[in-house]
Chain A
Amino acid sequence: MSTKPSTQFRYPTKDSATVRIGLTIAGIAYIALFLFTPLIAVFAEALRNGTAAFVAAVTEKDALAAMWLTLTVAAIAVPLNTLFGLAAAWAVAKFDFTGKSLLITLIDLPFSVSPVISGLVYVLLFGAQGYLGPWLDELGIKIIFTVTGLVLATVFVTFPFVARELIPLMQEQGTAEEEAALSLGASGWKMFWLVTLPNVRWGLLYGVLLCNARAMGEFGAVSVVSGHIRGLTNTMPLHVEILYNEYNFAAAFSVASLLAMLALVTLLLKSFLEWRYGDEIAATHRH
């Protein structure tokens, strides 16, 4: 008399159907609630008064100035932080030196500081009543409430992105290829340009993408430093705030939807990179 086992065969590492379905539903519900709904709301509110009102809101003089400023700030902050990130990752991954762990901690600093505090630090340093205020005044240099201040604050908060993408990647790749390049007669610069850089290009692109997304969307630090001068020192996020405070909801959401679209494009590009070069990227991700 043979007896069949009462339970069906199940893979040891797979949960039961109920658990799997339950978790999947919970995950989707969470994302739907906290991501999809606000996103859909932004677009819905943007078009509430019709497409004509939408177009009017995004082509209005101050809105255009805000977009231009956002692009300018990003165009300065992102390349600066890319250069810095490359240099820092290079130093950390290929060399040993005293103060290395301090450097790594400092790189992560902007992540642990509230953006508002980041902006406040600049006001405390460069503002009229700030530490360096009188000295700057003498030299006729204005930082707070100008575009310079906006760039500085944005550079600070987007500091770590490129470095944090590159450091684990470069560490994992090691120094063997660089040593080979040297032994074959390459100069330091040629080695960096022909061997190191091509090996990290996808991590670099990914880091630049993240840096850019944050640079364009930054609100807290930039708000403190900006002065909110319409048409002059307002980036898009700040402009959205102004419109909203004037009860001009449809216009506020219209401009906000542009930022949302930027986020979606960034996400699409990121997904594409991961799909195309997933193995390279995934194997070295460590956050």
Chain B
Amino acid sequence: MSLRIERVSKRFGAVAAVREVSLEVKEGEFMALLGPSGSGKTTLLRIVGGLELPEEGKLDFDGQELTHMPARERRAGFVFQHYALFRHMTVAQNIAFGLDVRPMGKRPPRREIAARVDALLKRMQLDDMGKRYPSQLSGGQRQRVALARALAIEPRILLLDEPFGALDAKVRKDLRQWLRALHDEMKLTTIMVTHDQDEALALADRVAVMNEGRIEQVGPPAQVIGSPATPFVRDFLGQDGEGI
């Protein structure tokens, strides 16, 4: 189940955010979109998730054309930078949301939803937090709730928008390892946007370095550091000569 992005472009008014980007994300792969602010990586992620519509180009997921499909039909789990948890719902209700809003025919029975929520809470190490409200949680806990919420709908692709951006360094490091372990276990196709190269290089199977709406280089972390394809890639990845 691979994702194909073909020559996708998107403008906002006079600004071209994404310029004819083509990328293939293989099934089960962890792909990082790395680049400075304004490079178009978040816009590209949102296009994949259906939160923006491209002006040109095609999106393909395992043969099914996604380009103009509305976000709610895509089954792409999206984790927002600032979590976007539903503030007036408990943690459990947040996680269950994707299942609760399914139409009558497709909705699992209440017991099953509750069971799935419990399983996810355990998986995310949020064991007794089900009845709490987002405002009562720490940043790291909120991010795990956001992830659980996205995973509850059994998405076919996971989209992470700078998931650790709002957290402090120690929490970030811990969550990084935990996320990689989770990915190895679930083998879910994942795209993560980040401007933090350490994060990208530590987590990803392949890294796509973006600049001003274009992809400058795609490849495994070692290759991107060791053989930068353009001056931008070389400069952006700085003195990372020690490898991963």
Residues of A within 8 A of B (CB): 176-177, 179-187, 190, 194-195, 198-199
Contacts and interface: CB of A to CB of B under 8 A. Distances in A.
Interface string B133-153: 000000000000000011011
Interface in B50-83: 50-51, 70-78, 80, 82
Interface stretch (B84-92, B120-128, B186-194): B84-92
Contacts of A176: 80, 82, 84
Contact of B51 (A177, A183, A185, A190): A183
Given A177-B85, A185-B101, A187-B101, 18 more contacts: A176-B84, A179-B51, A179-B84, A180-B84, A180-B86, A181-B86, A182-B72, A183-B50, A183-B51, A183-B71, A184-B101, A184-B149, A184-B152, A185-B98, A186-B72, A194-B97, A199-B87, A199-B88
A180 B78 contact: yes
B102 interface: yes
Contacts of A180: 78, 80, 84-86, 149
Contacts of A187: 72, 101
Nearest to B81: A176
9 contacts: A180-B80, A180-B84, A182-B51, A183-B74, A184-B101, A185-B72, A185-B98, A194-B97, A195-B86
B163 interface: no
A187 B71 CA distance: 10
Given A177-B87, A199-B88, A185 B80 contact: no
Contact of B76 (A183, A194, A198): A183
Nearest to A201: B88
B40 interface: no
B221 interface: no
A174 to B, nearest CB: 9
B228 interface: no
Nearest to A184: B98
Contacts of B86: 177, 180-181, 194-195
Interface in B1-58: 49-51
Nearest to A194: B101
Nearest to B93: A194
Given A187-B101, A194-B101, A182 B84 contact: no
Contacts of B84: 176-177, 179-180
Given A185-B153, A186-B72, A187-B72, A179 B80 contact: yes
B40 to A, nearest CB: 18
Contacts of B150: 183-184
Contacts of A182: 50-51, 70-72
Contacts of B98: 184-185
A195 B73 CA distance: 18
A184 B88 contact: no
Nearest to B77: A183
A176 B80 CA distance: 8
Nearest to A186: B101
Contacts of B149: 180, 184
Contacts of A181: 86, 97, 101
A198 B82 contact: no
B75 A185 contact: yes
A184 B78 CA distance: 8
A186 B73 CA distance: 9
A96 to B, nearest CB: 10
A183 B49 contact: yes
A190 B103 CA distance: 10
Given A194-B101, A198-B88, A199-B87, A184 B153 contact: yes
Given A190-B101, A194-B101, A183 B78 contact: yes
